[in-house]
Amino acid sequence: MDLNFNKNEDHNKLLVSELKNKLSKVKLGGGQKRIDKQHSQGKLTARERIEYLLDPKKPSIEIGAFAGDGMYEEHGGASGGGVVVKIGYVKGKQCIVVANDATVKAGAWFPITAKKNLRAQEISMENRLPIIYLVDSAGVYLPMQDEIFPDKEHFGRIFRNNAVMSSMGITQIAAVMGSCVAGGAYLPIMSDEALIVDKTGSIFLAGSYLVKAAIGETIDNETLGGATTHCEVSGVTDYKAKDDKDALDKIKNIFSKIGDFDKAGFNREKALKPKEKQEDIYGILPKSRAEQYDMREIIKRLVDDSDFEEYKEGYGQTILTGYARIDGWAVGIVANQRKLVKTTKAKTKPSEMQFGGVIYSDSADKATRFIANCNQKKIPLVFLQDVTGFMVGSKSEHGGIIKDGAKMVNAVSNSVVPKFTIIIGNSYGAGNYAMCGKAYDPRLIVAWPSAELAVMSGNSAAKVLLQIETASLKKKGETITPEDEKEMFDKIKARYDRQISPYYAASRIWTDAVIDPLDTRKWISMGIEAANHAPIEKAFNLGVIQV
């Protein structure tokens, strides 16, 4: 191993260590004192409930762990968005679990909470995946009600989705394990089956204080909407549980009897580990996002037996396309090649160099054709992003780069096989779109700690913004010294760098997670397994494109 490899390895391992430290803080939710309070009430925490519910020897992945990170600080923060979402297995059946975290503002709903819940439902609907709601929430966070209550993608969309999912035949089970108030009371009752925990669970449109204020009736919360009331009087809930574990055991019992699902039929063989050492990824991936490297070396450490059957290897070399297997699943890989490549347009013309990470016309053309091939063969697509954008300049413009880029975007948009996106490094500008960014419906989209998501790099953006700012000041007659310019540049870049961090993206659920590169195979495998629940019902059609 060379010195550069060792430097890269140290840098990337530090990034992974930082990731693990951040996750350990997220897992504390609202803090140890609030966890202790939850326990004193005889209740498990959201994470303890999920851990008890999911099969212990099966893998699981967490969606949106960093939701709300660095947001709502003026309101005391909302760690994880006040809800925990995991894909795992109950009695061997893959499902998605959504658990309100009552240690975070009593499980109240912030705007990001709604977005995270809607993302969980979206995953359930796309993959026909059973969903379990573990309810323990004080309802909408009132100081921010205007940002969560009335719009299309706000709180009410949750119940609309409950109804749609039911019509789709997707199993929904809800357990009320704490508060369930106001509009939130509809969620468990719009599920297929609802459980409630005795003495700690309660469901009502208005609590005892509001009932007293509204109609003058004096009544306690337990009589108003406790487990006995709803299981024996109103008939709102279907099962009464004596405690949290009893409720979770009942869910396991229900799940053990669910029939099999219609499969999409994605190809899978016996899984093989990569021949190449996976940990080498840390040393191969450069410390600097501007440095070149060979993406093939990353692919060899992600795919079964390190076997990558490359499609059109010598053409459009700044995008790699080819077939492989990940944990036994057949996949088509579309990856940005990050090393400088030599290309020859014709025998009569000299070779020219193409910059790694840039999408050229020939690369876009190759990717478009490969995506169409995978759709025809019913092979899921995996996009490995490290892209600075499309090539610019007169030569590219005259060669039709916009047309070729549009064809690639068209193919990605209309793809009917499931897509999975891994943001390894740069994810800039239209390159993010062409390589299946969040707007293009990947079933799962995750980032490595080395990722950067933005219109352009922090350095480039800071230079552009500095030019605009200095020009404005000079118009006002102000004198700008080189020292002033440097100070302004550093300030602008620091602000921009914060916004391109993978954690900034994850906090807003632009990605589903920031993951250790060594967990990539697990995420893709579980994602394809989930997608296999949903047979493809639509034919691949590119629509109208300019050839």
Residue among 205, 183, 169 nearest 117 (CA): 183
Tell me the pLDDT tens digit for each residue of 414-454.
999 999 999 999 999 889 999 999 999 999 999 999 999 98
Tally the C-alpha atoms within 13 A of residue 315's C-alpha that lie toward its C-beta.
13
Q: Is residue 24 part of a domain?
A: no
Compute the mean pLDDT over every residue in the chain, rounded to the nearest whole number. 92
78, 71 contact by CB (below 8 A) = yes
User: In the prediction, which pLDDT does 32 show?
Assistant: 96
Handedness of CA 371, 377, 380, 382 (dihedral sign): negative
Give, for 329, the enclosing helix (H) or strand (E).
Answer: strand 329-336
**pLDDT bucket at 398, cuts 50 / 70 / 90:** confident
Is the pLDDT at 287 greater than 70? The verdict is: yes
**pLDDT bucket at 546, cuts 50 / 70 / 90:** low
Q: Which has the minimum average pLDDT: 2-11, 184-193, 315-324, 503-512?
A: 184-193
Average pLDDT over residues 239-259: 97
204, 225 contact by CB (below 8 A) = yes
**Are 323 and 216 in the same domain?**
no
**Are 41 and 162 in the same domain?**
yes
Is the pLDDT at 351 greater than 70? The verdict is: no
**Are 140 and 170 in the same domain?**
yes
User: In the prediction, which pLDDT does 155 show?
Assistant: 87
* Angle between helix 361-377 and helix 401-414 axes, rounded to 10 deg: 20
Tell me the pLDDT tens digit for each residue of 118-141.
999 999 999 999 999 999 998 888
User: In the prediction, which pLDDT does 280 show?
Assistant: 98
Q: Which has the minimum average pLDDT: 170-174, 357-361, 473-477, 522-526?
A: 473-477
**Are 196 and 76 in the same domain?**
yes
- The per-residue DSSP string of 268-315 comes to B------SS-GGGHHHHS-SSTTS---HHHHHTTTSGGG--EESSTTS
**pLDDT bucket at 347, cuts 50 / 70 / 90:** very low
Q: Is residue 363 part of a domain?
A: yes
Q: What is the CATH number of the domain that holds 237?
A: 3.90.226.10
Average pLDDT over residues 365-393: 94
Query: 411: domain range?
Result: 279-451+511-532
Domain count, the chain: 3
**Are 193 and 78 in the same domain?**
yes
**Are 158 and 234 in the same domain?**
yes
**Are 392 and 491 in the same domain?**
no
| Greatest pairwise CA separation for the chain in angstroms | 92
Query: Could you tell me the pTM of the whole model?
Result: 0.93
Tell me the pLDDT tens digit for each residue of 155-182.
889 999 999 999 999 999 999 999 888 7
| Count of all residues that appear for the chain in the document | 547
User: In the prediction, which pLDDT does 345 show?
Assistant: 60
